Structure 1
Amino acid sequence: MANENVELMRGAPEIAVKKLAIPIMISMLLTASYNIIDGIFVAGLGQAAIAGIGFVTPIFMILNGVSVGLGSGATSSISRFVGAKNHEGANKSATHALLIFLIASIILTIIFLFIQEPLLRTYGASGQSLAEGLKYGSPLFLGLFTFMFANGGSGILRGEGDMKRAMYAVIVSVILNTCLDPIFIYTLGMGSAGASLATIVSSAGSAIVIMYWILIKKDTWVHVELKNFKFDSNIAKDILKVGIPASMDMFMMSLAVSLYLIFISTIGGEFGIAAFTSGQRLYLFAIMPLTSIGSAVAAVAGSAYGARNGDYLSRTHIYGAKFGIAFGTAVTIILIAFAPQLATIFAYTPETAPLVPEITQFLRIASLCLPLTGAGMCSSFLYQGIGKGTISLMWTIIREVIFTVSATYILGIVLGWGLVGIWTGLAIGRITASILNFTFARFTIKKIRENFGT
């Protein structure tokens, strides 16, 4: 099976992107359901709990983003070795990736346990919402290693084109989370802490399954041999030159979300934060299909780049962008049409019911960016695939920090449009940046093709 996956990545890019994107899509939608499931159960704890978890979201984005980013570094490195038909290089890359996951999880856990409370206060958390945020956040930070090996291990599997087993591991995790959430939150009376503990135990299940395949069963295409391990700085740099910028992608998005929270807290207080947090859960869930298409583009583009095939590289990008636009359009229509019903998922109690109109408004405005975000996202993942993670990071900064933060501030604060201005700024900023990103990607591919002579 693993060899078939490798041959798929070396074949026609349109077929490869489509076949690889579907299992990634299922995996990411299931992963995103963590937030949905947590949100449904936490909603029963009241508005303060919803807001408290919302304040933790940008911090958790950083931590989870590092695990996903380092996994992307492994995917890029391994897929380029696949394209170059260098099996030994791919094996070394996978082994070094595991070491990097371990070191990163230890360092980040220590750092964030110390800085979580000052960060939450900076975002505007206080009183009960601060207490709920700390209850939810502390277990997540202690369990960071589970996310690191689950997401990082998935990156290793994606690098060799084995998307299905990465999906199976996620299925195990989501089933566990769904079963454990009500038990930990309500039956055991752990509240917000129970939601995060259920997520950690579930993520650990996913990590254990993946590490079993790689380290014990040893039936993956890459072979990890820890006994004879010799550190190679060049291999580590190859992973980190994509992994660090990809991790910083999430940091920059988290920074942007932090600023949104400050703007929203200033305008709408706890009500605005709770509405944004609930709507953002659905937005992040909706964007998962676009992210999965981008992940498939990264793997296939890496293989094409490693094989120095400029034609396949260009076709990968164009097909991925078309695929993303189509999916983004379909998702936008669904969100707009069913916004009130979707909003009710997170506001089903008498206390939270007043949130429904604002969540509905958020979904109907903010989701308008999704079609073009599909093209922009494929462009960002293309850079990761070809080993140019810094360019991908640059476009994240342009999209989220420069364009979108500016648009939300101007419309929401300066022009006084309130929460509607924030929601509108989210859409306008992302649409503008995505158009520019796609255009720059085509220019980049043109230069690569000239260099390759294909």
Structure 2
Amino acid sequence: MKMSADDKSLHKPRFCEGSIMRHVIVMAGTGTVGLMAVFIVDFLNLFYISTLGDPQFTAAIGFVNSIGFLQIAICIGMSIGTVVITARLIGARQHEKAGRMVTSFLMFMTVIMVILGGVMALFRRPILYHLGARGVELEQACHFVSIVSPFVFLIALGMVFSGLLRAVGDAKRSMNVTVIGALVAAFLDPLFILWFNMGLEGAAISTVCSRLAVAVSGFYCLRSYKLIIKPEWSTILKDSYRVLTISFPAILTNLATPVGGLFVVRTMSSFGSNAMSGQTAIDRIVPLAFAFVFALTGSVGPIISQNLGGGFRDRMHETLMVSLKLVFLCVLVAWIFFFCTENWVVKLFSLHAEGADLMRIFCRWVILGNLFLGMLFVANTAFNNLGYPLLSTAFNWGRATLGTIPFVWIGAAYGPKGVLIGQTIGVMPFGCVAVICAFMVIKRIKLEHPFQK
């Protein structure tokens, strides 16, 4: 079938030509706006809960986040596989095949996430209890999970739709999808939490509505690219298996972070609600402060994949170099800001005792450790998009186990501060070695496939 001029423009691999720096900045910049919108809402969500004046409510959010991070990690892994496959096929100008595989995997993924959400809701109480939640914290967290978890498939769909828009190079619409969801939550959060006095229940209802908005707007924005087509039932399992060869290692990779985080939460909870409040506030600040880094790792993947599919080897190396420079700049700016505003941040979250101490040491020095975390994220993105997903799995699990458990366990002997510092020190060697390996992988690809278009 002959394509029209408009179709050819839509199907063109945009990242195989032009300035790499420009592509990275545009993709990461628009991605940052979208993520910032989401993270600001999460930030305000915690702020609204903290204004209720009960540290147990704030601590409950921390326990809820632990389960939420596990679910989101799986969603991210699913989206990574879909984006990698789609970007490669577009780079190789195989758009029809990309549409068939996307449609097949969307159906498969939806079924899996509905089952997962139901299971997590069913076993929420024993899970939260083993994390250290007790009393009011346990009851509030259980109620939140029972509302949100059954609808986790919505955020999975939204993430895949947003990722596919990045895969085709439509950074603006990808940004708009997340911004729309954030605006819905920004409106409903204060309405339910404060105006209707529903507390965490209101935050849960707002979360579900926001995720529905992301899924619906993402589907609407993606329609013009013809990547969602009538399914071919006979190929659903075969196509899904191909995507899963990338998604499954990516899921394992992403699960490492929340699994390591579960150990940190369990350890920190032993020091009381004030310590948990401080840790929860830090966990909400990090995504907000480093939204550009998170957006960067999600944005450079399609750039690497399109150039791999198109045969442009040197552009992959340049993408990695540009990404690392931008990570360093972002961490430096964030450190300067929080170093100068630590007192304001402590007052903002109404932190006391151990919680205030944790926030102060984070703002002064611990925040710099996110440089190595950013390096690890960039390297993992390269591994996933260059066909070496098991390397990202190995590095992330190494960081979540060898780089977390012994350091946090030793640090716990010195109190909550020791836990925070131990967690930071553990990531440093893994970030450095991962980046070295990423450059080695690119060099190997150049040697094995020297053809350069």
Q: Return the match for 1:22 from 18, 23, 29.
A: 29
Secondary structure of 2:230's match? coil
Aligned to 1:170: 178
Residue 216 of structure 2 corresponds to residue 219 of structure 1: no
Secondary structure of 2:227's match? coil
Contact 1:347/1:355 (8 A) holds in 2: no
Aligned to 2:152: 144
Residue 432 of structure 2 corresponds to residue 435 of structure 1: yes
* Runs of at least 5 residues in structure 2 that lack an aligned partner in the other structure: 1-5
Q: Return the match for 1:33 from 29, 36, 40.
A: 40
Secondary structure of 2:256's match? helix
Aligned to 1:423: 420
Of all paired residues, the percent bearing the same amino acid is 19
Secondary structure of 2:28's match? helix
Question: Which shows bigger deviation, 138-147 or 223-232?
Answer: 223-232
Q: Return the match for 1:241 from 245, 257, 271.
A: 245
Aligned to 2:370: 370
Contact 1:48/1:132 (8 A) holds in 2: no
Contact 1:380/1:392 (8 A) holds in 2: yes
Aligned to 1:389: 389
Question: Which shows bigger deviation, 398-407 or 268-277?
Answer: 398-407
d(CA) in 2 for partners of 1:185 and 1:81? Answer: 45
User: Deviations for 1:287-344, whole angstroms, at most 9, x for unmatched residues?
Assistant: 3211211122211111111123221111111111112121122122222222221232
d(CA) in 2 for partners of 1:165 and 1:31? Answer: 15
Aligned to 2:343: 340
In structure 2, do the counterparts of structure 1 residues 428 and 355 end up closer, same or farther at CA, with 3 Å as the change threshold? closer
Q: How far does residue 6 in structure 1 lie from its aligned partner after superposition? A: 4.2
Q: Normalised by the size of structure 2, how large is the TM-score?
A: 0.92
In structure 2, do the counterparts of structure 1 residues 240 and 34 end up closer, same or farther at CA, with 3 Å as the change threshold? farther
Paired amino acid for 1:277: T
Contact 2:76/2:156 (8 A) holds in 1: yes
Secondary structure of 2:311's match? coil
Q: Normalised by the size of structure 1, how large is the TM-score?
A: 0.92
Q: Aligned ranges for residues 3-402 of structure 1 at < 5 Å? A: 3=9, 6-12=12-18, 13-45=20-52, 46-214=54-222, 218-220=223-225, 222-226=226-230, 228=232, 230-266=234-270, 268-347=271-350, 355-402=355-402
Q: How far does residue 354 in structure 1 lie from its aligned partner after superposition? A: 7.5
Contact 1:304/1:310 (8 A) holds in 2: yes
Secondary structure of 1:231's match? helix
d(CA) in 1 for partners of 2:347 and 2:376? Answer: 31
* Runs of at least 5 residues in structure 1 that lack an aligned partner in the other structure: none
Contact 1:121/1:130 (8 A) holds in 2: yes
Q: How far does residue 371 in structure 1 lie from its aligned partner after superposition? A: 2.4
In structure 2, do the counterparts of structure 1 residues 337 and 400 end up closer, same or farther at CA, with 3 Å as the change threshold? farther
Question: Which shows bigger deviation, 223-232 or 272-281?
Answer: 223-232
Contact 2:357/2:417 (8 A) holds in 1: no
Q: How far does residue 400 in structure 1 lie from its aligned partner after superposition? A: 2.5
Aligned to 2:444: 447
d(CA) in 1 for partners of 2:394 and 2:101? Answer: 25
Secondary structure of 2:401's match? helix
d(CA) in 1 for partners of 2:401 and 2:17? Answer: 37
d(CA) in 2 for partners of 1:180 and 1:146? Answer: 18
In structure 2, do the counterparts of structure 1 residues 359 and 55 end up closer, same or farther at CA, with 3 Å as the change threshold? same
Q: How far does residue 139 in structure 1 lie from its aligned partner after superposition? A: 1.2
Contact 1:23/1:164 (8 A) holds in 2: yes
User: Deviations for 1:87-144, whole angstroms, at most 9, x for unmatched residues?
Assistant: 1222122212321331122111121012211111111111111111112222110221
In structure 2, do the counterparts of structure 1 residues 353 and 176 end up closer, same or farther at CA, with 3 Å as the change threshold? farther
d(CA) in 2 for partners of 1:200 and 1:313? Answer: 38
Paired amino acid for 2:395: W
Paired amino acid for 2:257: M
Aligned to 2:3: none
Contact 2:268/2:275 (8 A) holds in 1: yes
Paired amino acid for 1:274: S
Secondary structure of 2:133's match? coil
d(CA) in 2 for partners of 1:372 and 1:295? Answer: 17
